[in-house]
Chains A and B, each alone.
Chain A
Amino acid sequence: GAGVSQTPSNKVTEKGKYVELRCDPISGHTALYWYRQSLGQGPEFLIYFQGTGAADDSGLPNDRFFAVRPEGSVSTLKIQRTERGDSAVYLCASSFGGGANYGYTFGSGTRLTVV
């Protein structure tokens, strides 16, 4: 696609529920990143895929968070047993290569609200 697409743009869920956030990167971009942005803060790294595999998942806060990219294109971020502290904007980015030197192209984000 022309840009990084994230769906849904907004998601409201009840505490304890399971949510899935989807990211469709730019066609041909091999690297895909998930970041989380809380109000008044900069993006915080969660996980980075090179192709189908997670190259670095050191930013995932706990085992309630999981992400997949089974075919090396679309990725899904999965959050189990959501908590109010999970409320944030979840950003997806992609880049042509695997290093940060390429810079990121970001999507518009999914705003997750846990009530």
Chain B
Amino acid sequence: AQSVTQLDSQVPVFEEAPVELRCNYSSSVSVYLFWYVQYPNQGLQLLLKYLSGSTLVKGINGFEAEFNKSQTSFHLRKPSVHISDTAEYFCAVSDRGAGKSTFGDGTTLTVKP
């Protein structure tokens, strides 16, 4: 069975500071990895995904994530955050060939001026 652990439930940062949201997963097979973002009063939106190849993937809004197979991690980073990045971020994993994904419980990123 798969599981996803988002290590921080809340991350407060100041505007223009760097941020890292941590995600660890467990799975017995090869996986796809995703980050979704949910802005206030909006639906979940795909931020980026890792399928294969380069372990560093770039997404929308300047975010990037690095797949580390040995550490079973997929941490999300941004070098300089904006107030508008305030949102809930969800990490998700899916077995290759499967349709469903398993989500973490989310990390609330709050960017303060």
Residues in chain A within 8 A of chain B (CB atoms) = 4, 31, 33, 35, 40-45, 48, 50, 55-56, 58-59, 91, 93, 98-101, 103-109
Q: How far is the CA of A50 from the CA of B101 in the complex (A)?
A: 15
Number of A-B contacts (CB under 8 A): 68
Q: How far is the CB of B47 from chain A (nearest CB, A)?
A: 9
Some 26 contacts from A to B, beta carbons below 8 A apart, are A4-B43, A33-B99, A40-B105, A41-B105, A42-B92, A42-B103, A42-B106, A43-B44, A45-B100, A48-B100, A55-B99, A56-B100, A59-B100, A91-B44, A99-B98, A100-B34, A101-B32, A101-B94, A101-B96, A103-B46, A104-B36, A104-B46, A106-B36, A107-B43, A108-B42, A108-B43
Q: Which residues of B contact A45 (CB under 8 A)?
A: 100-102
A43-B99 CB under 8 A given contacts A91-B44, A103-B49, A109-B43: no
Q: How far is the CB of A105 from chain B (nearest CB, A)?
A: 7
B45 and A106 form a contact (CB under 8 A) = yes
Residues in chain B within 8 A of chain A (CB atoms) = 4, 32, 34, 36, 42-46, 49, 51, 90, 92, 94-106
Residue from the list A48, A50, A58, A100 in contact with B32, Cβ < 8 A: A100
- List the B residue with the shortest CB-CB distance to A32: B99
The 9 closest A-B pairs by CB, nearest first: A42-B103, A100-B94, A106-B44, A103-B46, A48-B99, A45-B100, A108-B43, A106-B43, A43-B103
